[in-house]
A = this chain, B = another copy of it.
Amino acid sequence: MSITLLGVIAGIFTSCSFIPQAYKVIKTKRTSDISIPMYCLCTVGVFLWIIYGLLIKDIAVLLTNIVTFIPTVIILILTVKYHVQTKLKQ
């Protein structure tokens, strides 16, 4: 297996990894065990990677981070939303 192919496979695994979590959050509407600081850091980090990909004009950095950004933002928004709803009910 070529080294580049290994990098591509690694990128696919890490980029797609947030999709099952976003699906679970949408389906169950439960997020109390999910860390809000994690998704704040992650969303900002991935957004910076997208800017970085644009600046260095690297399509691989750009695409993998756009794939990561979408589920990450969904998880962050829903986790904050359900957290606020739970606090308001108390």
Contact = CB atoms under 8 A, between A and B. Distances in A.
Interface of A: 3, 6-7, 9-21, 23-25, 28, 30-35, 37-39, 41-42, 44-46, 48-49, 51-52, 55-56
A33 B35 contact: no
A23 B55 CA distance: 34
B6 A51 contact: yes
Copies of the protein in its oligomer? 2
Contact of A6 (B37, B38, B55): B55
Given A25-B33, A28-B33, A30-B33, A38 B13 contact: no
B49 A20 contact: no
8 contacts: A11-B45, A14-B41, A14-B45, A16-B41, A17-B39, A21-B38, A24-B33, A30-B32
